[in-house]
Amino acid sequence: MTVPENLSYTAEHEWVSIDGTVASVGITDYAQQALGDVVYVSVPAAGAPVTAGEPCGEVESTKSVSDLYAPVDGEVIEANPDIDEDPGLVNTDPYGAGWLLRIRLSDDADPAGLLSAEEYTALTKEAE
C-alpha cells in the first residue's frame, strides 16, 4: 500500500492535493485495494457545490459500493473525463490517472482538518 508524502488525506480514504485554490481528489490505494475492481464512479457535474464531510458521489466495485465524501468545501470544476470509460484507472493508478474530481475551494474552506500521510497511515494500520 502506498501513501504519498506530498498529499493530504481524509478518514474516509480520499486523497487531496491542493494547488492554490484548487483541490484534486481521488481515493487512496488502501481504498481501491479494499474495494476491489472498480466498475463505475458517479461524481457531481462541474458547477455543483460540495461540502466537506458530505457524500458527493459513489464508487461501485464488483463486491460493494461506497460513498465518496467531499474532502473540502467548494465547487466542482471538473470530473476526470477518462473514468467513465475506464473506471479501472482508480485501481491501476489511484493517485495519478485515476483522480476523480477537481474542486475550487470556497473562500472560507478550511483544509487544515485534513490528515497528513503519517496520520493516514496510522489510521489504516488501526483498521487492520
Partner 1 sequence: MTAPDPAKPRQTPLRAVHERLGASMTEFAGWLMPLRYRSETAEHQAVRGHAGLFDLSHMGEIIVAGPGAAAALDYALVGQPSSMAPGRARYTMICAADGGVLDDLIVYRLADQEFLVVANAANTGVVDGALRERADGHDARITDQTDAYALIAIQGPAAAAILGPLTDIALDGVKYYTSHRGTVAGREILLARTGYTGEDGFELFSQPEDAEHIWTTLSGAGTGAGLVPAGLAARDTLRLEAGMPLYGNELGPDTTPFDAGLGRVVKLDKPGDFVGRAALTAAAQAPPRRVLVGLRGGTRRVPRHGYPVLWDRRPHGTVTSGAPSPTLGVPIAMAYVEPEVAAAAGNGDAGSSDGDAAHGRLAIDIRGRAEPAQMTPLPFYRRIK
Q: What would the x/- binding string for partner 1 be over residues 91 to 120, using CB under 8 A?
A: x-----------------------------
Name the residue nearer to partner 1 (CB basis): 16 or 90: 90
Asked if residue 1 binds partner 1 (CB under 8 A), the reply is no
Q: Which strands form 14-19's sheet, in the order they lie side by side? A: 8-9, 14-19, 22-27, 101-105, 74-79, 49-50
Asked if residue 65 binds partner 1 (CB under 8 A), the reply is yes
Positions 15 through 34 that interact with partner 1 (CB under 8 A)? 33
CA separation for the pair 114, 15 (Å, rounded): 9
Asked if residue 40 binds partner 1 (CB under 8 A), the reply is yes
CA separation for the pair 16, 65 (Å, rounded): 21
Taking CB under 8 A as the binding criterion, the range among 11-19, 20-28, 38-46, 120-128 that sits at the site for partner 1 is 38-46
Backbone angles phi, psi at 127, to 5 degrees: -70, -15
